[in-house]
Structure 1
Amino acid sequence: MRVYSEGNWVTQFQNLGGLGIGSVSDPTNRLSVAAEASLFSHEGNDHRIKVNKAGTADTAALLFQSNWTGHAEMGLAGDTRFSVKVSADGSAWQEALAIDPALQSISLAPAGMERLRLKDTELALNVPISGAAVQSSATDTTAGRLALAQHAYGPGNLLGGVAQMAGVPTGAVIEQGSNANGHYMRLADGTQICWHEFTETGLAVTTPYGSLYRSGTIAAPTFPAAFASAAGLVTVFRGHFATNIDGWLVANGVPSATALTVGSLRAISAISRTEDFRWHYLAIGRWFT
């Protein structure tokens, strides 16, 4: 555009009502360019493209269209956060990414609902984690993979009911309990320990037994938790009289999976005596085979 001014023709491009380059401008799109590409280069060093808006609630953004229908927009849309919005039809829009300068956070919402928020002090996730970098099963111990709550152990599931399937633990690591028959502990590897302490009040240990003396039959207790079988079951006895004199226990049978012995259980003493006899046992075996 040339304007005749003060006897000369000069080029005038200030305060144009519109400009079309290979295209036609309109009141909304005052600069319209139709070309394969547009180039904005530096003049010496830096180069910045500025998109300014009047106020916080306004929009300063880049809109990407396909056949004149908008599908993506990035910039400051209605606030001072930098956001990326997407649309399948140009009408319904969803914010997929937001960078908040006030909260110093980055959030992702691929389906319109925030699923990830990253801050300097935390990473918050609201979606299940999967993929090659995540533990795939309870037996997956690949180095470097993220452990899942259902496959890992911590304060919340270290203690509780133990369980297993085909030898693979599916419950807690340690189970402890007690009942009228005593105390027990089960470990995830199948180990079970049972114990109990008894007092036989006024027990008569007066029947000659070689150079020693024995009592009558003491009732064999039931284990507080059944073992899987009696095979490999180990039991340890210890006893003493109320006066802290040593005493012994003997059994002429073997333990079953549910009780201490299937034979008779008796106390032994070096001298004939009748007094309270305290004893306990410890049984170690397996709760599954």
Structure 2
Amino acid sequence: MTQNSPNLELPFLQPSQAQKHVTHNEALRRLDIVVQLRLQQTGASVPPAQAQEGDIHGLGTGATGAWAGQDGMLAAWLDAAWHFVAPQTGWRAWDMAGDQMVIWDGTGWTALQPELDELDRIGIGTSADATNRLAVQAPATLLSHAGQGHQLKVNKASGADTASLLFQSGWTGHAEMGLAGQNAFSVRVSDDGSNWTEALRLDGATGHATGSAVQADVADATPGRLLKTGAFGLGETGATTQIPDIDATDTPAGAYRYISTTPGADSFPDALENAYGVIRIERSNAGQLRQTVWRNNFEHGIWTRTHFSGAWGSWRQVYDQTTILGTVSEAGGQPTGAVIERGTTAQGDYVRFADGTQICTRFFSTAASSHAWSFPAAFISAASISLQAMARHATAPRLVTESGDLSATGVTLKVWNAAGTAASAPAHVTATGRWF
């Protein structure tokens, strides 16, 4: 029979042994050292100056003093002396200095790493349950990289399931983002945790956005919504949205197209009616706006009008270098055509202005005592005409007067010499008046 146990090396009592209490006490002493093992420190090499009864140290390498030659041993201070026990591989102890469980691996004491695979649940700062098997209660949770990037993965079993992040307040859900019952990414919100609104959905195939946060159509003016391509004519490469009513005052600012049958088209000037074109709306506030219109297949011509004090103003043409010259016209005393009109006929030259002014000129190169002149463009009346004439002669001055038959369409001129006798001479004449 051996004298010591195989694992803890406890001394056995032997038959007919004298002073058996000594052997028994030695076994108890050894049990007191290794059972429920607590170490003051691990890796120790210098004995403490003041040791307490029952203190046990896990020695490292290079032990000195009373520990010299005992590297790797357990050093226990008992009965004012150091007692040494060799630890066995797998022995566990509580490291009081490191505040952790350690294990002897055959060469040194290392922190005990628990087996974390296939755990039923983990609660950090709180209790986990059957549904929330990982629960964390803390001011923050950090997920960091291990040298490069980092991904947080939320996986679901099938397309009809949910893989999302739910944001709660007082345990009531108010926002959720992820794959909620489908494979398109969505963001939805709730005021009460029961009724949910899908604010945004991103299609997995196209990446296009839909949802209550996006316009229902390109004319949707609901406040707070994201604009679609083509909204109110912005970014459109094809036909813009047709304006519902040209005379409406609540149409949102933007660019629209119109056709000849669009409501309100009968308010257009003649150049815009029975045509297709684009109308642009600009606003300064709810009741003050401006419309600008241009017509398809009409190289020159832009018209504009404003809405102010509850009523639409008249359409007015915008002039540029291509439209300032042309045929001058009017309606009701208001210009409706070009700004300046210039013409030449066999009866001379004329210039008409949009304000109603007209100037006619002619040079009679043949010497005569009477010159009949039909104006190249008619005036509104003879009373509106101011006539200026000058006769040319090489040797003596000549006077040119009208014969008294001035009309809106012409005049007869008389040439006189200094003696008041009819004389022949060329004449230069200018008539200024109004054409309307």
TM-score between both structures, scaled by the size of structure 2? 0.39
* CA shift for structure 1 position 268: 2.1
* CA shift for structure 1 position 77: 6.6
- Measured in 2, the distance between the counterparts of 1:130 and 1:195 equals 45
- 3-state SS in 1 of match to 2:325: coil
Q: State which structure, 1 or 2, has the greater radius of gyration over its C-alpha atoms.
A: 2
Maintained 8 Å contact 1:76/1:83 = no
- Measured in 2, the distance between the counterparts of 1:50 and 1:245 equals 105
Pairing partner for 2:206 from 78, 82, 93: 78
1:257 counterpart residue number? 408
Spell out the pairing of 1:59-74 with structure 2 (5 A cutoff). Answer: 62=186, 73=201
1:178 counterpart residue number? 344
1:129 counterpart residue number? 280
CA deviations over 1:162-194 (Å, ceiling 9, x no partner): 111111111111111111111111111111111
* CA shift for structure 1 position 135: 5.5
- 3-state SS in 2 of match to 1:129: strand
- 3-state SS in 2 of match to 1:231: helix
2:433 counterpart residue number? 285
- Measured in 1, the distance between the counterparts of 2:327 and 2:409 equals 19
Unaligned ranges ≥5, structure 2: 1-114, 123-132, 135-151, 189-194, 218-225, 242-253, 257-277, 283-287, 293-302
Spell out the pairing of 1:140-159 with structure 2 (5 A cutoff). Answer: 150-159=316-325
Pairing partner for 2:174 from 29, 32, 38: 38
The alpha-carbon distance between structure 1 residues 62 and 16, as it changes in their structure 2 partners (threshold 3 A), is closer
* Number of aligned positions between the proteins: 218
Q: Which amino acid aligns with 2:354?
A: A
Q: Which amino acid aligns with 1:31?
A: A
Structure 1 window deviating more from structure 2 (153-162 vs 126-135): it is: 126-135
Q: Which amino acid aligns with 2:279?
A: P
- Measured in 2, the distance between the counterparts of 1:78 and 1:186 equals 62
Spell out the pairing of 1:147-226 with structure 2 (5 A cutoff). Answer: 150-201=316-367, 203=368, 215=369, 218-226=370-378
The alpha-carbon distance between structure 1 residues 284 and 138, as it changes in their structure 2 partners (threshold 3 A), is farther
* CA shift for structure 1 position 159: 1.2
* CA shift for structure 1 position 198: 0.9
Structure 1 window deviating more from structure 2 (250-259 vs 25-34): it is: 25-34
* CA shift for structure 1 position 29: 3.8
The alpha-carbon distance between structure 1 residues 268 and 75, as it changes in their structure 2 partners (threshold 3 A), is farther
Please report the RMSD computed on the Cα atoms of aligned residues, expressed in angstroms.
5.1
Maintained 8 Å contact 1:83/1:96 = no
* CA shift for structure 1 position 62: 3.9
TM-score between both structures, scaled by the size of structure 1? 0.55
* CA shift for structure 1 position 266: 2.4
Unaligned ranges ≥5, structure 1: 19-24, 41-48, 52-58, 89-94, 100-105, 117-123, 204-214
Q: Which has the higher contact order (CA 8 A, sep 6+)?
A: 1
Alignment pair present for 1:97 and 2:228: yes
- Measured in 1, the distance between the counterparts of 2:174 and 2:329 equals 67
The alpha-carbon distance between structure 1 residues 232 and 141, as it changes in their structure 2 partners (threshold 3 A), is farther
The alpha-carbon distance between structure 1 residues 17 and 181, as it changes in their structure 2 partners (threshold 3 A), is closer
Q: Which amino acid aligns with 2:379?
A: F
Maintained 8 Å contact 1:247/1:269 = yes
The alpha-carbon distance between structure 1 residues 29 and 280, as it changes in their structure 2 partners (threshold 3 A), is farther
